[in-house]
Amino acid sequence: MTLKDHKKHTAIARPANGNFGRNEWAILGGPCTVVKLLADRIIAALSPQYQCAYADTSHNDDVIQLPGRLTSGAALEYTDQLNFCQLNYQAPLTAFKQRQLFAEMDLVLVNGNHQQAKEQVVIIDINKRASLQKRVGQLSNVAMILLADNADEPFDFIKEALPNWQELPTYKINDDTAQVIGFFQSKLLKAKPVLNGLVLAGGKSARMGVDKGTLHWYGKEQRYHMADVLANFCNEVFISCRDEEQKLEIDAQYATLTDTFTGLGPYGAILSAFRQNPAAAWLVVACDMPLVDEEILQHLTENRSVKHIATAYHSEVTNFPEPLITIWEPKSYPALLQFLAQGYSCPRKVLINSDIKLLQVPDAEALSNVNTPEEMDRVKRIIHNKLAQTDAP
């Protein structure tokens, strides 16, 4: 066996991150002040719908003294300011730590005169020609060209480096602000994570005494009924299984997803879904919530917010978010892992302590859990009455 043939680590799906996040653009070729002003306009327009970030390098070359307590040897200093928080690190951020800090950002704009990103926006400014020419090697994936007031077309070396330059969207940086913002808005809409469905059916149903996923509420096993309902709103739907043995019991026409984070209940099922596809958002519904119907799911999906890590309903029973009928965005994956690393495996605790969109449920009964025979009898009566009203002339 050669070293090339040997695979030491398990291959797992990785998020399509760049240096900072999933959607990042380095803006280069213009004065740094112009880059910052452009970033300001874009962020001001898009921040109501998206989490936006900006990355740059300080120009204070004469500042050699470390700030605050870093001068005394502290590795990290945190300051809770009146309207923002500040973290100062002494050591450089690794690429892994950097992506972790930007994990919840939907849009990252980077001053490309100093830092790089996986996509680039090139400013054509006659006064910065030489500076841009030095960075031609960084133009790996140019998405847009912006012309300064003193330029009418790209430089010859840009045309040579970008054979498709005429196909790229090209705007005047000061006159076409709406088009520039529209460009990023369109990119973020296209980058909206696809929505997959996950039916939580891997519990042991100890209190019920029978597998809750196999109960018949609507003429078929609830795990199949819920999967069929979710299919109206999701790209793909999976039934969560606790192990391979349970997986063999499920009808082969339904896709399954076996827990790879074992012993963690619903938390492990959600993490296992993200491990299988970290680029998708996951609409998670427990099979022991038989009053969840199309109306509830439609309301949830129509009010989905990709800006937040999750979109969830407020439960009148617990007075907390209900994690078991929730849309978990891809940005929630690192948050879930970080809570787990601190010893927490409660999805509700993640929702309570994170930036989420919290909705009022149209029908409070829809969030009813069925965990005991007594609760089953009560919900049976509710379903019977609903069906009777539907069938009434």
Which of 159, 190, 221 is the last residue before a domain boundary?
A: 190
- The alpha carbon of 29 is separated from its chain's Cα centroid by a whole number of angstroms, namely 31
Specify if 293 maps to a domain. Answer: yes
**66 falls within a domain:** no
Final residue before a domain boundary, out of 190, 205, 235: 190
Question: For residue 200, what is the domain's CATH number?
Answer: 3.90.550.10
- Whether 223 is covered by a domain: the verdict is yes
Q: Given this model, what pLDDT does residue 63 score?
A: 59
Give yes or no: residues 253 and 104 share one domain. Answer: no
What whole-number distance in Å separates Cα of residue 49 and Cα of residue 51?
7
List the strands of the sheet with 52-55, edge to edge.
Answer: 52-55, 107-111, 24-28, 119-124, 142-147, 170-172
Is 2 within a domain? Answer: no
| HSE-up of residue 305 (Cα within 13 Å, Cβ side) | 18
- Specify the pLDDT at position 219: 84
pLDDT of res. 206: 44
- Tell me the C-alpha distance between 169 and 121, whole Å: 10
Instruction: Please check whether residues 256 and 185 belong to one and the same domain.
Output: no
Q: Are residues 106 and 200 in the same domain?
A: no
Q: For residue range 314-361, what is the model confidence (pLDDT) as tens digits?
A: 999 899 999 999 999 999 999 999 999 999 999 999 999 999 999 999
Q: What are phi and psi of 171, to 5 degrees?
A: -135, 160
> What span, in angstroms and rounded, lies between the C-alpha atoms of 336 and 35?
35
CATH number at residue 81: 3.40.50.300
pLDDT of residue 340: 98
d(CA 313, CA 358): 6
| 328 belongs to a structural domain | yes
The domain total for the chain is 2
List the one residue out of 176, 160, 212 whose CA is nearest residue 375: 212
Same domain, 181 and 213: no
Cα(first)–Cα(last) distance of the chain, in Å?
Answer: 74
For residue 85, give its domain range: 24-58+75-190
pLDDT, residue 11, reads 80
Same domain, 255 and 359: yes
| Residue-level pLDDT at 308 | 98
Q: In one letter, which amino acid is 292?
A: V
Which regions of the chain are under pLDDT 50? Answer: 206-209
Separation CA 128–CA 279 (nearest Å): 38
User: Does any domain span residue 218?
Assistant: yes
Q: 177 with 204, same domain?
A: no
257 and 117 share one domain: no
- Determine, yes or no, domain membership for 13: no
- Does one domain contain both 245 and 360? yes
> Is 229 found in the same domain as 252?
yes
How many Å apart are CA 134 and CA 271, to the nearest integer? Answer: 44
Co-location of 223 and 345 in the same domain: yes
Residue ending a domain, among 190, 205, 238, is 190
- DSSP letter for 193, please: P
Within a domain: 63: no
Domain match, 150 and 210 both: no
pTM of the model: 0.91
52, 155: one domain: yes
H-helix or E-strand spanning residue 172: strand 170-172
Which are the contacts of 202, defined by CB distance < 8 A and separation ≥ 6? 240, 241, 242, 246, 259, 269
| DSSP string of 74-102, one letter each residue | -SEEEEE-SS-EEEEESSPPPHHHHHHHT
